[in-house]
Structure 1
Amino acid sequence: MIVAGLGFSSAATADSLRAAFTAAAALHPVSALATVADKEGHAALAEFAAETALPLHFIAPADLAGQRTLSCSPRSRASYGTGSVAEASALAAAGLGARLLSPRQISDDRLATCAIAIGGQT
């Protein structure tokens, strides 16, 4: 499974998410989206997920902590114990043995990030 992990601020729009996703997923056939569970109910996320028609997985914050990421955001590290919510969400959703295909991509407005991971057992 190839998963697009999303990280975003409360000010992010569906356009923010779309821009980060488009930059990250340009070369990969993504089969699911993932983000941290406390983002559930965010209007822009719901709009973007509906637009993509991909399944959306919510990852418990505890499952993000300790994920080895390529990027390191001090804010993400302080809030979730990981360097990147997008990267950690993608890894957690992709399953055992997952690996990142590239570091997170950031939307032009800097409100959203997206990273792609592939499951270890594809």
Structure 2
Amino acid sequence: MVMGEAMRVAGLGCRKGVAAGEVLAALDACAAALRPPAVQALAAAASKAGEPGILAAAGLLGLPLIPVDRAALRRASPRCMTHSAASLAATGTPSLAEAAALAAAGEGSRLIAPRIARGNVTCAIAQAGDET
């Protein structure tokens, strides 16, 4: 991370059994419009953080994977920009990817790339602090 650069966290949601390639493709699509396109960490609901595809993607990228508990996801939910009825029914959050990114990036974080879906993976990016 460059000095003065705000931390960016990519939140991920997925169906069971996704491959690392699917996770990487969703992350690439989500970060494509960002300058720079880099993130410093990945985040997922604690229930998804053990998915082999997510673990493999974090390993391939050399990034930490932050598991986010249900309480933190719910606290972040009001700041979600997109709303999926399926996500709300399954997880109690309108966007698991957005809530995970916001929760992991911390208080005062904001979404800079709302949820996108690629195949069986959703991705959103939140930024902590101010961008300089």
1:31 touches 1:54 (CA, 8 Å); kept in 2?
A: yes
What corresponds to 2:113 in structure 1? 102
Q: Given the alignment, which residue of 58, 80, 83 partners 1:49?
A: 58
- Alpha carbon RMSD of aligned pairs, Å? 1.5
Q: What runs of 5+ residues in structure 2 fail to find an aligned partner?
A: 1-6
1:65 touches 1:80 (CA, 8 Å); kept in 2?
A: no
What corresponds to 1:9 in structure 2? 15
What corresponds to 2:48 in structure 1? 39
What is the CA distance between 1:121 and its match in structure 2? 5.7
Q: TM-score, normalised by structure 2?
A: 0.84
Residue by residue over 1:73-102, the C-alpha shift from the partner in whole angstroms, topping out at 9 and shown as x without a partner, is 112112222111111000000011110002
Amino acid at match of 1:15: G
What corresponds to 2:99 in structure 1? 88
1:96 touches 1:121 (CA, 8 Å); kept in 2?
A: no
What is the percentage of aligned positions where both structures have the same residue? 44
Structure 1: distance between partners of 2:50 and 2:10 = 18
Amino acid at match of 1:52: L
What is the CA distance between 1:42 and its match in structure 2? 1.3
Q: Which has the larger Rg?
A: 2
Residue by residue over 1:86-119, the C-alpha shift from the partner in whole angstroms, topping out at 9 and shown as x without a partner, is 1100000001111000211211xx2001111001
Q: Given the alignment, which residue of 100, 114, 122 partners 1:113?
A: 122
Q: What runs of 5+ residues in structure 1 fail to find an aligned partner?
A: none
2:55 touches 2:65 (CA, 8 Å); kept in 1?
A: no
What corresponds to 1:58 in structure 2? 67
1:6 touches 1:115 (CA, 8 Å); kept in 2?
A: yes
What corresponds to 1:22 in structure 2? 28
Which segment drifts farther, 91-100 or 77-86? 77-86
Task: After the TM superposition, list the runs of 4 or more consecutive aligned residues in structure 1 that deviate by more than 6 angstroms.
Answer: none
